[in-house]
Structures are given as C-alpha cells and as structure tokens.
C-alpha cells in the first residue's frame, strides 16, 4: 500500500486535531477582526496550496463579503513591484512553510503595512515564524510527495479563517467535517474497482463550479503528478466557452456535482456531455437525489451534508468531495504500476522565485 493512500486515510483525524488545537486561537482572532476588519484579502500560494487558496477565495467572498485576490508571486519576486496593501489581510499558504516566493510575498506585505497570516503544517517553518498569526494544519508529517492531508487541512483552515472574519458559520458545524471526511473514505473499495476501467487513460477533463472549482484543479493535479495523465481543469461555464469542442465519444470527464446553486449549470453540462457520449464520472452525495439517476457513473458519498437555509447548500462539500478524487488518483497509479509517493522529477518541497 502506498504512503499516499495511508495519508488519505489519516485525514479525519488530522481535521479533528486541527479543530481542537486552533479553536481557542480562532476565537481570539475573531474578536480582533470585530474592530480591525480588513478592506480586502490577498492569498499567496503555489501548487496544491494555490488550489486551497482558490477555494478560500470563493469561501471568504461568499461568507464574509470581503473582496479576495490571489497573489501573483512573480509580481513581487521578478518584477519587484511595490503593491499598495494598506488595510489588507495577506494570507500565505504553504505545506512546508518554506516556499521561497510565497514567503517573500508575505515579507513584502508586512513591509507595506498589511496584517499577515500563515497557514502551514510546520510549526517551526520560516512562514510560521515570520507571520503575525499562524494557522497550524495538524496533519502530522506528510511523507508522500503527493499532498493530500495537508490540502484538506488547508481547506479546513480556510473555514476557520472565515469564522474568524465573522462568517455565519458555527464551530459546531466545522466539527462535523471530520465525520464527512470519514464517510467519504468508505468509498475506497468502490473507487479502486472503478479505477481499473481507466488503466489506459492518457487524458481527461475535471470539472467543478463555485466552492468545488478548486477541487477540479486539485483532482487534476493529482492525476497529472501521480498517474501522468494530461488532465485539464475547468468550471462548467468555461468548458462550454470553447474547450468542450475537444471532447468526443468515450473521452473521460470527472465532474463534481453537489446540490445547491451550482447543480443546475452542472446538470445542464452533464446533459451536454451525455449527448456527445463523453464518459462522465460524477461525484456527489446522498442529498443530491437527482444526480443519482444513473448508478453506473455516479460516486455517492454516504453522508447527508450539513444544510443551512441562510448559506449555499454546498458550503461544506469541498473536503468530502475531494477525497474520492484523491482515492481515485492513488488507485489509478497502483493500477498503472506507478509509485504515487515518488513521482518522477518531483520533490516534496519546491523552491521557486
């Protein structure tokens, strides 16, 4: 069994540890933001952490109304631009906390007068030491090059940050995310069986929308780095704006299909894909009854997710929805005879400027 698969299985415990360790600190931060609300937020990251930042952008804007931007590190490292970050909150996200360009963005932000927060799995990292406040992802040492438990830990930290910024999210609801992750892990045997069909897959598209848009990037990344599949990632809207022309009969498409406001456009896309005989594998949950009409191509997470009438129904789907994607990538790598823990030409920490 791969280390990647072992670490996928550790995610519920990691989320639970993070909640217990950070709850008191996040309450203090929430009080700070009651009187020091940022005018806008900038998220800085690379790789898998950048996918977590993409999720954070949706989550924070939806739940707090504060504008959020994703930093382009090259603006700071290569072009050496001076960016006006007055009254901003700048959040750097890095598994190792040693990402050179991400840390430089945080350093420049501090010099420009912004409040700085770091999200990392390493308490003794450069990032944790240089930021004003650190959210520690309590995932334990991640040995596989393919990040899994640190990604979901970063997503969870984004929920905690949203709460700190005044979002209408209850900590009791966040406690349930570990259980949702555990429910998703029950799909491991089914996913392994499904992966056999894709043994010779060389290319694919992964589609998400809104709060699961980031998961389309992360699932595709895992397919690329562990299975060497050329995986393009799109929102359902962007796919229809041109790229759908490259799809044809039997082309593999993986689609995140939660209930809620994104279901209607996703459903319309699925109907379009069916008309051209694309082979779509749909990830959803039991509460989305309409998505389960065809049992042959639907992966259903066996848990009814939290629903609140005042917030989008899919608010809490990001973590349990990405886990089937992680399991699929780990299983497909095994089917292909590849080692997902040691992808060719990759190392755990990547230093770029």
Give tens-digit pLDDT for 335-353.
999 998 888 766 555 656 5
Share of residues in the chain with pLDDT > 90 (%): 86
Domain ranges of the chain: 3-175, 180-335
What tokens appear for 189 in the block?
Answer: 């045997």
What tokens appear for 247 in the block?
Answer: 């799809």
pLDDT at 290: 85
Mean pLDDT of the chain: 92
Task: Read off the pLDDT band of 310 (50, 70, 90).
Answer: very low
Task: Read off the pLDDT band of 291 (50, 70, 90).
Answer: confident
* pLDDT at 55 exceeding the cut of 50: yes
pLDDT at 314: 87
pLDDT at 287: 85
Q: For 153-196, what is each residue's pLDDT tens digit?
A: 999 999 999 999 999 999 999 999 999 999 999 999 999 999 99
Its CATH class, for the domain covering 180-335, is: alpha beta
* pLDDT at 297 exceeding the cut of 90: no
pLDDT at 301: 87
Greater confidence (243 vs 289) lies with 243
* pLDDT at 204 exceeding the cut of 90: yes
Q: For 105-145, what is each residue's pLDDT tens digit?
A: 999 999 999 999 999 999 999 999 999 999 999 999 999 98
pLDDT at 195: 96
* pLDDT at 308 exceeding the cut of 50: no
Angstrom CA distances, 35 to 59, 118, 147, 352, stand at 21, 21, 36, 37
Share of residues in the chain with pLDDT > 70 (%): 93
Angstrom CA distances, 54 to 44, 71, 79, 242, 309, stand at 10, 11, 23, 22, 24
Q: For 24-53, what is each residue's pLDDT tens digit?
A: 999 999 999 999 999 999 999 999 999 999
Its CATH class, for the domain covering 3-175, is: alpha beta
Q: For 250-286, what is each residue's pLDDT tens digit?
A: 999 999 999 899 999 999 999 999 999 999 999 999 8
Compute φ and ψ for 135, nearest 5 degrees: -95, 115
Same fold? 3-175, 180-335: yes
Give SS3 for 234.
strand
* pLDDT at 307 exceeding the cut of 60: no
Kindly write down the DSSP assignment for every residue of 296-335, as one continuous string. GGEEEESSPPP--TTS-TTTT-HHHHHHHHHHHHHHHHHH
Evaluate whether 145 touches 346 at the Cβ level (below 8 Å): yes
């Amino acid at each position: 069994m791969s280390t990647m698969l072992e670490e996928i299985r550790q995610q519920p415990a990691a989320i639970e540890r993070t909640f217990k360790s950070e709850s008191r600190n996040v309450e203090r931060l929430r009080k700070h933001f009651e009187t020091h609300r940022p005018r806008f937020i900038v998220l800085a990251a690379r790789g898998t952490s950048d996918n977590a930042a993409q999720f954070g952008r949706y989550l924070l804007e939806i739940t707090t109304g504060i504008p959020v931007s994703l930093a382009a590190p090259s603006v700071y490292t290569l072009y050496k631009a001076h960016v006006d970050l007055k009254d901003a909150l700048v959040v750097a996200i890095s598994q190792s906390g040693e990402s050179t360009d991400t840390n430089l963005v945080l350093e420049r932000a501090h010099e420009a007068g912004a409040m700085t927060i770091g999200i990392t799995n390493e308490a003794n990292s450069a990032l944790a030491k240089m930021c004003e406040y650190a959210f520690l992802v309590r995932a334990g040492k991640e040995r596989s090059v393919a990040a899994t438990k640190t990604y979901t830990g970063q997503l969870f930290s984004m929920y905690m940050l949203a709460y700190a910024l005044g979002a209408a999210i209850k900590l009791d609801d966040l406690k349930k995310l570990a259980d949702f992750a555990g429910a998703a892990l029950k799909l491991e045997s089914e996913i392994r069986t499904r992966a056999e069909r894709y043994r010779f897959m060389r290319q694919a598209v992964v589609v998400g929308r809104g709060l699961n848009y980031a998961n389309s990037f992360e699932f595709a990344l895992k397919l690329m780095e562990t299975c060497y599949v050329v995986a393009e990632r799109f929102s359902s809207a962007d796919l229809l704006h041109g790229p759908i022309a490259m799809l044809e009969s039997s082309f593999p498409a993986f689609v995140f299909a939660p209930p809620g406001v994104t279901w209607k456009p996703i459903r319309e896309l699925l109907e379009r894909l069916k008309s051209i005989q694309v082979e779509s594998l749909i990830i959803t949950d039991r509460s989305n009854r309409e998505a389960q009409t065809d049992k042959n191509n639907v992966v259903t997470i066996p848990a009814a997710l939290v629903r609140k009438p005042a917030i989008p129904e899919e608010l809490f789907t990001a973590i349990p929805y990405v886990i089937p994607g992680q399991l699929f990538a780990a299983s497909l790598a095994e089917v292909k005879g590849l080692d997902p823990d040691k992808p060719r030409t990759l190392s755990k920490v990547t230093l770029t400027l």
